[in-house]
Amino acid sequence: IDVHPIRDYDIFVGKTMEFKVVKINQEFRNVVVSHKALIEAELEAQRKEIEKNQAEAELANLRSQVNPHFLFNTLNNIYSLIQIDPAEAQEAVHNLSGMLRYVLYESQKDTVPLSKERRFLKDYIGLMSARLTSGVKLEVSLPENPSDKPVAPLLFIPLIENAFKHGIGDTAESFIRINLGEDNEHVTCQVENSCFPKDDTDRSGSGIGIPNLRRRLDLLYPGAYSFEYGRVQTVYRSQLRINTGK
């Protein structure tokens, strides 16, 4: 009896089964790899969503710190103005109401037109300069016809706040220079002022304003801004430049 056909058949069946097992294993591995990729993609999406929510929450908290800081400074200025010129103080309160609307509503947006931010800065400077004496030289340069390029709200106000807070001496000659400019993709705010730190622990540029601003810039303009500030002898200088095109 010729048994070779049977043996050949067994070999054929064995190889066929081995091929099918290999194929099933490969398909199983492909499924595992595919599911793993889907799971990793889903986890990455969840991680990014969590980071985004955390960043938004931190930004909201930082903005909430700016608002009372701004309000404290302006109200303190109006309080002082009441004793000097009650009529002027009344007008200042009226102007402050418009500024508060901007702070409460516009500042909650991701960006605002530069023209609106410029108007807010102009009103703030006008309010803070109302009680300046002849011993303080104030120079302000704001764009006459600013564009509507989008900028994050309230980025420049801490620099100007610090200038009025720390740049005015009780009796000594003082100065404040404020310059806001723009080009194709950049907005630059430069501020210089005489430096009269309140005491050894309260120096120009310290407090909540600058640390808050730096953190907001890191979150809003990562890799798209430059910020320099510091005291050189009796002059304090700060310059913030943001790239609005990124």
| 3 token code pair | 């048994």
Distance of alpha carbon 217 from alpha carbon 54, whole angstroms: 16
The per-residue pLDDT for 206 is 43
Mean pLDDT, all residues of the chain: 79
Of 193, 109, 92, give the one whose Cα is nearest residue 155: 109
Tens-place pLDDT, residues 133-166: 889 999 999 999 999 999 999 999 989 988 988 8
| Residue of 199, 209, 206 lying closest to 231 (CA atoms) | 206
pLDDT at position 221: 94
Tens digits of residue pLDDT in 48-87:
665 555 555 555 655 665 556 667 777 877 887 888 888 8
Which is nearest to 167 in space by CA: 235, 72, 71, 75?
A: 235
- Tokens standing for residue 11: 């070999």
